Amino acid sequence: MLWLGIETSCDESAVALVRSSESGFVVVGSKVSSQIRSHQPFGGVVPELAVREHLRHLPAMLPKLLEENGVSFSEISGIAVTEGPGLAACLMIGYSYARGLALTLNIPVVGVNHLEGHLLSPFISGKRDDAFPFISLVVSGGHTLLMLAKGLGQYQKLGGTVDDAAGEAFDKVARLMGLAYPGGPEIEKMARIGNREAYDFPQSFPEKDNFNFSFSGLKTSVRYFLDKNPESKSDPKFVADVSASFQEAVVQVLARKAILAAKHYRCRMIAAAGGVVCNGRLRDVLEQSCRKAGIELTLARGELCTDNAAMIAAVAAWKSASGVNIGLGSDINPNLPL
């Protein structure tokens, strides 16, 4: 079966083709149109601007994707679209587009939870039924989730952030230091030339049986520190050291909680995904900690960490090939839980 994935939940318009077979599934093609440059001057996503950008890009992307991969409309056998969570007006664009297209092509359309897309994205290069149970760490701009994945579609939330998402913390701290949006990649760039032991920023919830995260205390601590050293913000060495120390505090807490959860629930694998998993230091620390603890680690490939439609089509492909029931809700749901 050839699935078309459509993703418009936030500030990336994305389409992808994923083919499923009994032995697994492969990404035939994937296109992402990032709106970062349009939102950059505003230091964050502006919903109205995002809607206009989706409307401008989405219709042109699909014919291009098909042409580039030598696929015709008639070969598409099903459409998978993100139905939540996300920005309501943005979700609505993809959802309406998918429904209209499905009607025209006379094929089924199914709704996919964006977070399930991230959760399963580490396995996109091949179906991994034997991966379950595993601990999933999903860290993006909107979410920080630690889940116990018991089976396809069976997820138990172990913890989440009680305030800012990890990516949001990167974005806000970057802004405090005058770095561009999105802050994650900028902080990582500065951190590469900084000393991660320069400053000792706080790490929240060190307790062993608490799988929640909190990043607002860390963010406030960085803010006070910057306020006390206003002249240093123009010193690249200072910004690099603050970036490296802040990044280290976030990365250590994410890795520690994931390992604790894997041990607590006796899982032999951790799978991590979401925009923040692009971060090289987080990938390294997760790899080192998992090796030390004898836990297998599966990381989403870089281009599949940030929002994309391959992960949306892959959920539909995996579930339909495994006989798991999938359908389409009668509406989008901006707060759809996992």
Cβ proximity of 160 and 146 under 8 Å: yes
Residue 279 interaction partner, one of ligand KG4, Zn ion, none, beta carbon < 5-8 Å per kind: ligand KG4
The interface with ligand KG4 within residues 139-158 (CB under 6 A) comprises 140-142
Run of H or E residues at 112: strand 109-113
Cβ proximity of 74 and 107 under 8 Å: no
Q: Choose between 306 and 320: whose C-beta lies nearer to ligand KG4.
A: 306
The interface with ligand KG4 within residues 162-201 (CB under 6 A) comprises 167-168, 170-171, 182-185, 188
Residue 184 interaction partner, one of Zn ion, ligand KG4, none, beta carbon < 5-8 Å per kind: ligand KG4
Cβ proximity of 47 and 90 under 8 Å: yes
Residue 182 interaction partner, one of Zn ion, ligand KG4, none, beta carbon < 5-8 Å per kind: ligand KG4
Please list the residues that pair with 243 across neighbouring strands: none
Q: Choose between 180 and 198: whose C-beta lies nearer to ligand KG4.
A: 180
| Site membership for ligand KG4, residue 94 (CB under 6 A) | no
Cβ 141 to ligand KG4 shortest distance, Å: 3
Burial of 227: CB neighbours in 10 Å, binned 0-12, 13-18, 19+: exposed
Cβ proximity of 312 and 94 under 8 Å: no
| Site membership for ligand KG4, residue 85 (CB under 6 A) | no
| Site membership for ligand KG4, residue 78 (CB under 6 A) | no
Cβ 273 to Zn ion shortest distance, Å: 9
Q: Which stretch binds ligand KG4 (CB under 6 A): 66-74, 194-202, 212-220, 272-280?
A: 272-280
- Length of the chain equals 338
At which residue do the structure tokens 């306020």 appear?
227
DSSP 8-state class, residue 71: -
**CA dist., res. 126 & res. 211, Å (int):** 29
Measured in degrees and rounded to the nearest 5, phi and psi for residue 98 equal -65, -40
| Site membership for ligand KG4, residue 306 (CB under 6 A) | yes
Q: Which residues bind ligand KG4 (CB under 6 A)?
A: 10, 140-142, 167-168, 170-171, 182-185, 188, 274-276, 278-279, 306-307
